[in-house]
Amino acid sequence: MTPAHVWIDGRIAPADEAVLTAFDRGFQLGDGVFETLRARAGRPTELAEHLARMRQSAAGLAIDVPDDLESIVAEAIDELLMAEGLAGPDGDASVRITVSRGPFFGRGLLPPDEHPAPTIVVQAWRVRRPPAAHLEVGLHLVPSSIRRDPENPLNALKTTSRSDYVYARVEARTAGADDALFLTIDGYLSEATSANLFVVRRNDEGSIELATPSLACAILPGTTRSWILRWAATAGLEVREGLLTTRDLHEADEAFLSSSVAGILPVTRFDGAPIGAGIPGPRTLRARADREAFIRGAEAIR
């Protein structure tokens, strides 16, 4: 079901109404930032964390966000979920918050001195269960031909300029895979097009380790990634953030992706070759179950 409404700058509008001027810099230049999160039963998950990251992304592009962004967005989400019929006990929504620099009727890249009022948009979609194959068989990832530079300050900003990510997704589709994995310019693992990567393996001391590319590997610091790093202790896993190679992925026992809306998804093949036993592993499945319980509000880990 497609959304019937959108929230824009303080009002609910029909989803198919023209609500933005073509002069909005978000439309013209991808000059904006966004966040996507999950809301179960009308309750947004980790809203504070998402809005903190949104403020950092906006600050990186020198976009002025209102001081009361948090209360504006919380009210907007409430109103929109009600309008979309997603606020009830069975409601399960993916919520996107977009803030663009706003309309500017001149030309050029340099943000105008007069600081247009930013455009704030909230959208919501009903969350569908992932395709059975994603959970039962797991995802096949292929490396993207786009390499990421760890020194690029934009890596950690969630901007609406997503053409690298769209390009990589199209590459994956062309290769018959489910998603693409970015590598850094030095050949280390980075992240997928909209998720962070984890591998599970036995380390030299014989303990089971949960390893993930560090923040120095050109990744977005995912909110779900942070949660998983805290969760690991409860699952008896030792955490290691660092540099990982494609060999680490090929030789892992398990691998998974993490993101706010899709949650935890098993990765069972990389570039045509199976990872571990080539089926979703037990720690991956536990991570998924525990994260879903947390989103439902039924889990102790905060």
Ligand X SMILES: Cc1ncc(COP(=O)(O)O)c(C=O)c1O
Window contacting ligand X (CB under 6 A); options: 110-118, 146-154, 220-228, 279-287 = 220-228
How far is the CA of 156 from the CAs of 57, 61, 141, 272, in angstroms? 8, 12, 22, 29
Q: Find the shortest distance in angstroms from Cβ 180 to ligand X.
A: 11
Is residue 284 part of the contact set for ligand X (CB under 6 A)? no
Q: Find the shortest distance in angstroms from Cβ 104 to ligand X.
A: 26
Window contacting ligand X (CB under 6 A); options: 19-27, 98-106, 167-175, 256-264 = 256-264
Residue 163: burial class (beta carbons within 10 Å; 0-12, 13-18, 19+): exposed
Residues comprising the chain, all counted: 302
For the chain, report the end-to-end CA distance as a whole number of angstroms.
32
Query: Which SS3 state, helix, strand or coil, does residue 35 take?
Result: strand
Kindly tell me which residue out of 45, 57, 144, 258 binds ligand X, with binding defined by CB under 6 A: 258
Is residue 290 part of the contact set for ligand X (CB under 6 A)? no
Is residue 224 part of the contact set for ligand X (CB under 6 A)? yes
Is residue 191 part of the contact set for ligand X (CB under 6 A)? yes
Site track 13-52 with ligand X (rule: CB under 6 A), x = hit: -----------------------x----------------
Nearer to ligand X, 4 or 293 (CB): 293
Residue entry with tokens 């560090």: 214
And the tokens for 7?
């929230």
Total residues contacting ligand X by CB under 6 A comes to: 13
Nearer to ligand X, 23 or 165 (CB): 165
The answer to whether 179 and 196 have CB atoms below 8 angstroms apart is no
Window contacting ligand X (CB under 6 A); options: 82-90, 187-195, 233-241, 274-282 = 187-195
Q: Find the shortest distance in angstroms from Cβ 155 to ligand X.
A: 9
Is residue 184 part of the contact set for ligand X (CB under 6 A)? no
* Residue closest to 118 by CA, chosen among 100, 97, 96: 100
Kindly tell me which residue out of 77, 220, 275, 287 binds ligand X, with binding defined by CB under 6 A: 220
C-alpha to C-alpha distance for 8 and 16, rounded to whole angstroms: 12
DSSP-assigned states of every residue in 26-71: HHHH--EEEEEEEEETTEETTHHHHHHHHHHHHHHTT----TTHHH
- What single-letter amino acid sits at 281? G
Is residue 223 part of the contact set for ligand X (CB under 6 A)? yes
And the tokens for 170?
């199209």
| DSSP assigned state of 279 | S
Q: Is 63 left (phi over 0), alpha (psi -120 to 50) or beta?
A: beta
Nearer to ligand X, 38 or 283 (CB): 38
Residues that bind ligand X (CB under 6 A): 36, 191, 194-196, 220, 222-225, 258-260
